Structure 1
Amino acid sequence: MNKLTLTLLVSLGSGALWAAAQNAAPNAAQLRGLTPQQALAKANQWRGAGGLQSFVTSEAVVFRFPGQDPTTVALPARTMVIAIAPYMTRTHPCKTHFMSGCQGEMVNTAVAVLVKNQAGKTVLNKTMKTMANGFLELWLDRDQTYQVTLKAAGKTTTGILNTQAGSDTCVTTLKLQ
């Protein structure tokens, strides 16, 4: 660091250092203290920047930074996340959702989401917008089987979601018809 850079940093104070840290390349230190929901949001934000690979299992959000051991953020004991990419014409086969790589067809699309448990009780009924990767992320209670109905663009699809240990975290089979 040259004298001019050091003088600039000192004169700008800690605010500049904080801003520089926020724009730093993704790294494991930025995950410390994050909730699972925050870690998932960070993985979606980073989308594989700097060679990062990130995915979610039924147990944790996993980050693989190049040349480092994986960093994990455990999911809550009572809930897990399932990423769903509704589609109309194209999809991809997937079981484990990779935030760093999975891409759904319907980007930034409003989708009416209805989720019912095995007893037929509605556990989620709201309109959500798919993210830039074309996915919806649903946080659901563990050890359940749910029926999900999605409606978008005047079309509907229905499917089954499972939240047991080892369940799929990526659902790409729900075709709107």
Structure 2
Amino acid sequence: MVLAGCGTAADSEEPVADAAQDESLLAEHGLQGLDAREIVDHLDSLAAVDRPVDLMASVRAEELVLTDATADVALDMPEDVFYLAVAPYVAQTHECYFHSLTTCQGELVEQDVQVRVTDESTGQVLVDEVRTTFENGFVGLWVPRGAAGTVEVSYDGKSGVVEYTTGADSATCVTTLQLT
């Protein structure tokens, strides 16, 4: 299995599991003892210079897939929450479906953005706060599974909105939120 850059919906081949290789891969990258949520939070927030160049980490709806030159590891994502990586942009974006924690790069690096996430079925506001984008230009959001709604972002007098879903086949990488 090869993961390059951002992932597409077609990149859903199942990795082959081997417990010894799994532990070795996790240990080699300082991730042993961490669950999928902890690894996602750790890798997405790393500075560019600290990102492992020999590790691909793809966030899928149901699993986190880690791949290096020697092994593939798939860890179950939490059952109750879904990771949604959002890269708001003004002028430049890229296509993506499955967020790559080690290679996806958004335009707005370390910028304060107002984020509002709403669940359309309940009307509940899940997030309404200022967040600082990571060095990769993304804001990482843990939202309930089985939800659908909108993500609104405001930045520097500009704003935009995009719809999201958190089902088994949903995208984990949102790169279509243009701020105008």
TM bracket (short chain)? 0.7 to 0.9
Give the aligned partner of residue 101 of structure 2: 99
2:122 equivalent to 1:124? no
Can you list the C-alpha shifts for 1:4-43, whole angstroms capped at 9, x where unaligned? Answer: xxxxxxxxxxxxxxxxxxxxxx942233321333211333
Q: Which has the higher helix share?
A: 1
Letter of the aligned partner of 1:57 in structure 2?
Answer: R
Q: Show the counterpart of 1:15.
A: none
Partner amino acid, structure 1, of 2:155: A
Query: Whose radius of gyration is greater, 1 or 2?
Result: 1
How many pairs were matched up? 150
1:38 aligns with 2:7: no
Identity of aligned residues (%): 31
The one of 73, 76, 85 aligned to 1:74:
76
- Equivalent residue letter for 2:166: T
Letter in 2 for 1:66: A
Is contact 2:114-2:131 (8 Å) kept? yes
Gaps in structure 1 of 5+ consecutive residues: 1-25
Shift of 1:74: 1.6
TM-score normalized by the length of structure 2? 0.78
Query: Could you tell me the TM-score, scaled by structure 1's length?
Result: 0.79
* Separation in structure 2 between the aligned mates of residue 61 and residue 137 of structure 1, nearest angstrom: 15
1:134 maps to 137
Q: CA deviation at 1:120?
A: 1.6
Structure 1 runs of 4+ aligned residues shifted over 4 Å read: none
Deviation, 1:101, is: 1.0
Letter in 2 for 1:109: Q
Q: Please state how far the C-alpha of 1:48 moved relative to its aligned partner.
A: 3.5
Q: CA offsets, 1:60-111, max 9 Å, x none?
A: 222102122x112321111110100000001001111111211000000101
Q: Is the 8 A contact 2:118 2:150 kept in 1?
A: yes
Q: Which amino acid counterpart does residue 113 of structure 1 have in structure 2?
A: V
- Structure 2 gap segments, 5+ residues each: 1-23
Which of 133, 145, 150 matches 1:147? 150
What is the SS of the residue equivalent to 1:31? Answer: coil
In 1, Cα distance between equivalents of 2:51 and 2:79: 26
Q: Which moved more, 1:156-165 or 1:59-68?
A: 59-68
Structure 2 distance, partners of 1:43, 1:63, is 11
Equivalent in the alignment of 1:161? 164
Which residue number corresponds to residue 174 of structure 2?
A: 171
- With over 3 angstroms needed to count, the CA separation of the structure-2 counterparts of 1:80 and 1:66, relative to structure 1, is same
Following TM superposition, by how much is the alpha carbon of 1:147 offset from its aligned partner in structure 2, in angstroms?
Answer: 1.2
Separation in 2, partners of 1:127, 1:42: 20
Counterpart code for 2:43: A
Cα contact 1:31–1:39 (8 A) shared by 2: yes
